Amino acid sequence: MGTLDYKSYLKDAKDVHVNNTAAELIQLASSLNEGLLTVDGSFSVDTGKHTGRSPKDKHVIADQDTEDNVWWENNARIERSKFDLLEKDMLEHMKGKTLFIQDLHAGTDPDERIKVRIITEFAWQALFIQHLLILPQRSQQIDFSEDLLIIDLPSFKTDPDKYGVRTDTTIACDFTNNKILIAGTYDAGEIKKSVFTYFNYTLPPKGIFPMHCSANSDSKGRNTAIFFGLSGTGKTTLSADPERLLIGDDEHGWTDKGVFNFEDGSYAKAINLSKEAEPQIYDAVRRFTTVLENVIVDTDTRELNFNDGSLTENTRAAFPMAFVGDNVSKDGMADIPSTIIMLTCDAFGVMPPISKLDSNQAVYHFLSGYTAKVAGTERGVVDPSATFSTCFAAPFLPRHPIVYGRLLKEKMEKHNVKTWLINTGWSGGPAGIGQRMPIQLTRNLLTAAINGDLDNIDMRKDEYFNLMVPVSINGDSSYLNPIDTWSNKDDFNIQAKKLVSMFVENFKKFENDVDSEIIKSGPIL
């Protein structure tokens, strides 16, 4: 694990709490005034200025092992000497402090499971990561020898000049010695995503496809579906189907045997959460030991206010998968996917509600990772803004996107996997003029795709996006041809051409790395 023996530094800490239970950790967090215990027994914390991830502050050691394997356009370099100095200073920083250690597993597949040791400064962060990763049996924590060490010290601020980093916040990865250092941020999501980043680096050489996706299956763990999608596309909502088993809502690996969850917990958005819209998540969030980030709590009544985004719109809740209910896979595993769903929320209002993708088109849209957001409003006119996050996971990719794109294509073709692109965005006009796709329409299309009801129906090729689109489903053609939903066809054509040009421009950075068939499968200018 490198040259420094971190264990020798622990003896100089004020207190070291090792593998406390959830109940013990929430008691410690409360007694240490780390946050507020709510009326429900959940625990809410204020993470300060960091209310989300800091992707530009992630650094990777460039060495013999990583030089030709890391996507350096997406990952900043850090010299080994600077990393070693940072590690030494962070270990020195632990002296006199109360520390919390959690020995956990990551990966539900026993063949791919790794042992992770996390050292933190806060009881609530230890509880957070205990909820999200896999809690071993007590016997498995005896003489624990980690495969990955994560040291997270929010109170340690990094000096850019001293350590060769960008800011006073740093996530530094040593893939050669299996260490990750997190400094200067109170956002616990960095711990979770560090494990994901590690898997994204270590699994591809083994032929395993790491995915930022949700997954569900039928009651027997078959007819597996995986869902790719950026924030706001409906990935979590649509995969949490009461008629199917939820495998996981965020991170998975695809082996020759099937799909496995990297975690055993959920990191759900809490802003505007309601019992009516998401009853399972709502109940889970209000359970004893659930960790809440930046959710406003009434200091007198200790009641939660999910509608208050004064600290951030990115309020979060961390809880074990078991809190979600009975419709959750018991082992976090399922068969090889039969269906891939790629979700986009098109605020331009020009993409079909559902399209079928062949393997080349799937790679194109996977590498594109498109969704759109409402950028701003002036006198009632809303200008959509396109977002492209390659592989639907750009901040967490240590390797070049083409590595993951090739894995997707190989597995699709080997297992004859059906792939569908579903648009949960606007119809009849762009955001501000048109209307959001009816949620029931989306659910019906999704169910039909997963059940195979769309396999043998008449299809047309979309003029702009070069995708096959159902002409009608059960005699109903509503919404299926986007231009038909617009009152002004000229405006539709302008918007469609505008979005197509964005796709083409964004994909130029991949043109030297992919086959011509993939380029030709994309939208047409």
Select which of 50, 131, 193, 356 is catalytic: 193
Neighbours of 459 (CB within 10 A): 14
- Convert 332-346 to b/e letters by CB count within 10 Å (16 or more is b): bbbbbbbbbbbbbbb
Q: Does the annotation count 287 as an active-site position?
A: no
Q: Determine the distance from the C-alpha atom of residue 208 to the mean position of all C-alpha atoms in its chain, rounded to a whole number.
A: 18
Select which of 59, 212, 356, 409 is catalytic: 212
**What stretches of 94-173 show up as alpha helix (H) in DSSP?**
123-132, 160-163
Neighbours of 309 (CB within 10 A): 16
Q: Does the annotation count 193 as an active-site position?
A: yes
Select which of 103, 152, 250, 462 is catalytic: 250
Select which of 50, 53, 244, 409 is catalytic: 53
Q: Does the annotation count 312 as an active-site position?
A: no
Fill in the amino acid letter for 54.
Answer: S
Fill in the amino acid letter for 429.
Answer: G
Q: Does the annotation count 65 as an active-site position?
A: no
Select which of 66, 169, 224, 236 is catalytic: 236
Select which of 58, 82, 235, 286 is catalytic: 235
Neighbours of 273 (CB within 10 A): 19
Neighbours of 389 (CB within 10 A): 17
Q: Does the annotation count 80 as an active-site position?
A: no
| DSSP-based three-state secondary structure for 287 | coil
Fill in the amino acid letter for 37.
Answer: L
Q: Tell me how far apart the alpha carbons of residues 312 and 294 are, in angstroms, rounded to a whole number.
A: 7
Main-chain dihedrals φ then ψ at residue 475, nearest 5 degrees: 80, 0
Q: Dmax over Cα atoms in the chain, in whole Å? A: 73
Residue 371's beta-bridge partner residues?
387
Helices and strands, number each (H, E), in the chain? 13, 30
- What is residue 39's DSSP assignment? T
Q: Tell me how far apart the alpha carbons of residues 80 and 83 are, in angstroms, rounded to a whole number.
A: 5
Among 198, 232, 211, 95, residue whose Cα is nearest residue 156: 95
Residue with tokens 């205990």: 130
Q: Does the annotation count 302 as an active-site position?
A: no
Select which of 50, 316, 409, 411 is catalytic: 316
Select which of 30, 98, 167, 231 is catalytic: 231
CA distances from 479 to 29, 117, 233, 350, 500 (A): 51, 50, 18, 11, 20
Task: Report CA torsion sign: 328, 331, 335, 336.
Answer: positive
Q: Does the annotation count 82 as an active-site position?
A: no
- Using DSSP bridges, classify how beta strands 170-174 and 179-183 pair: parallel, antiparallel or unpaired: antiparallel
What would the DSSP string read from start to end of 313-369?
S--EEEEEGGGG-SSB-SSSEEESPSEEEEEE--TTS-S-SEEEE-HHHHHHHHHH-
Among 402, 410, 413, residue whose Cα is nearest residue 364: 402
Q: Does the annotation count 53 as an active-site position?
A: yes
Q: Tell me how far apart the alpha carbons of residues 386 and 348 are, in angstroms, rounded to a whole number.
A: 9
Catalytic residues: 53, 193, 212, 231, 235-236, 250, 316
